[in-house]
Chains A and B, each alone.
Chain A
Amino acid sequence: MTNESAPNIPATPGEYLLKVTNLSAWYGAARILFDLNFEVRRGEVVAMMGRNGAGKSTTFLSVMGILERYRGSVNFLGQDITREPSYRIAQMGLGFVPEDRRIFTELTVLENLDIGRQPPRGWPDGTAISPWTPEDLFDLFPNLAERRHMPAGRMSGGEQQMLTVARTLMGNPYLVLLDEPSEGVAPVIIEQMVSLIHTLKAAGVSILLSEQNLHFARQVSDRIYMIEKGAIVYSGTMEELLADSETSNKYLSLGAL
């Protein structure tokens, strides 16, 4: 049941959307990341898995240029974005959905979407990408449609989670960094999130998500990186990981000490 519903956009090996080399990061004096290397190809959904505090969110913040202190190189669409300010990175088509949602609580749902709006874009090879409109997104998230004029702060946690995703999609990104989409939301929302990711993949959006929940990740992702204490300790396709229960137990549950 894992991936059949995902339509077939062939991952073209070698065509990296995002390539991260030797990324290290600090919070103050505390080093959080230790020389991370990973990449995401066009059309892929990649999961970065690991426990709380393993460094997943820090990785995303570093890639987006939000963290103040990091080292290494980040390449997006063939351009070095390591030192770019985060608004430039976002304008280049790298979308970010933060873990703690960070919706604009005083603004209505529609206004939140408007903040994320960016001009339509196409692939470097000329393929056009049909831009997202609020109406498309309301089709995708029916709950939001009913609340379009409601201040976002009054919605439930799950609805806010949907809104952060929708807001980022308004920027028509090539690649979305999706930080802990299943964290703290009801199972029914997680289900919606699974079908959402399939839809996005079908629409040609690539996704890098961070996740602790293997049951969620296995339904949506093609490949995984396992991150532990700020370092990547395992990488492989989802099939390989599922076949290797020792690894999955070791890093994702408390099985081994």
Chain B
Amino acid sequence: MTLLTVQNVGKSFGGVRANHDISFALKSGELLALIGPNGAGKSTLFNIINGQTNADTGSVRFEGTELSGLQPRQIWRLGVGRTFQVAFPFGSMTAIENVQVALMSRDRKIFNFWRWGRNYCRDEALGLLQRVALTDQAEKPCNYMAYGDVKRLELAVALANKPRLLLMDEPTAGMAPQERNELMALTKRLVLEDGLSVLFTEHSMDVVFAYSDRIVVLARGELIAEGSPAEVRANAKVQEVYFGTGNTFETEGQAS
């Protein structure tokens, strides 16, 4: 079943084409990687999907609902969670409070002035922390947590409203090698347990090939390839613009 449909999406910034006529679909239960060189338009596309930016043309549909024109918070309510490239939790709070805030928001209780926030859905919050193996750090202020733990906390926060789709922007950026694998293995497990789908951008090719079901490749704002990891790896065009270290250049160099 198709969960997310991106159709003919285009976006320009002051005459520079960041996205042009991009279309792809994401199926339920899938881990889809979005890759491409710097400046290929990945962030723009990501921001269009999560509502940070409005597309000039085209449409993005989630479970049949048109997302363009919606605010990020409305898209979140539809069941699209999100993690950030640089994990930036609510730094003045403890781990469990970060999760509790998300739960308050889910229950539309943030304009409640009287209830004690501290006890809000504590058990449920602990349960979420347990899923990312952070129970023992529940009361630790985020600023004192290791970066890998913060990344997992972000996952717990993103899971708070039981999303069906998770958008992850470079989930393993800034992490030590073994932490990367742990985080992605955890993500994969959550995907299987909850039946959720993931769309992620990533620069680490080992992560992409180890954990994605399918890959979409962007270059200069356009979609140039789409398929299974094996297909994409074999794709000549992708090798040329992304994997292959400067094939264009090699020919030029020989000519000179």
Judge whether B1 is part of the interface by a CB distance below 8 angstroms. Answer: no
Cβ of B252 and Cβ of A191 under 8 Å apart?
yes
Considering the complex, which residues of chain B in the window 53-99 have a beta carbon less than 8 Å from any beta carbon of chain A?
86-87
Cβ of B253 and Cβ of A30 under 8 Å apart?
no
How many B residues, CB 8 Å from partner?
33
A229 to chain B, nearest CB (A): 5
Smallest CB gap from B243: residue in A? A254
Cβ of B209 and Cβ of A253 under 8 Å apart?
no
Judge whether A257 is part of the interface by a CB distance below 8 angstroms. Answer: yes
Interface centre among B37, B244, B245 (most CB of A within 10 A): B245
Judge whether A175 is part of the interface by a CB distance below 8 angstroms. Answer: no
Cβ of B176 and Cβ of A212 under 8 Å apart?
no
Give the number of A-B contacts (CB < 8 Å).
Answer: 76
Bound-state Cα–Cα, A212 to B249, Å: 12
Cβ of A187 and Cβ of B86 under 8 Å apart?
no
Is the contact region of chain B dominated by helix, strand, or loop, or is it mixed? loop
Considering the complex, which residues of chain B in the window 215-256 have a beta carbon less than 8 Å from any beta carbon of chain A?
233, 243-246, 248-250, 252-253, 256
Cβ of B249 and Cβ of A213 under 8 Å apart?
yes
Bound-state Cα–Cα, A29 to B140, Å: 15
Cβ of A27 and Cβ of B245 under 8 Å apart?
no
Interface of B toward A, CB cutoff 8 Å: 37-39, 86-87, 143, 145-147, 150, 170, 173-177, 203-206, 209-210, 233, 243-246, 248-250, 252-253, 256
Besides A28-B86, A53-B204, A213-B249, 9 more A-B contacts (Cβ < 8 Å) are A1-B253, A31-B147, A53-B173, A53-B203, A191-B256, A194-B253, A215-B250, A219-B253, A229-B177
Interface of A toward B, CB cutoff 8 Å: 1, 27-32, 34, 51-53, 182-184, 187-188, 190-191, 194, 212-216, 219, 229-230, 252-254, 257
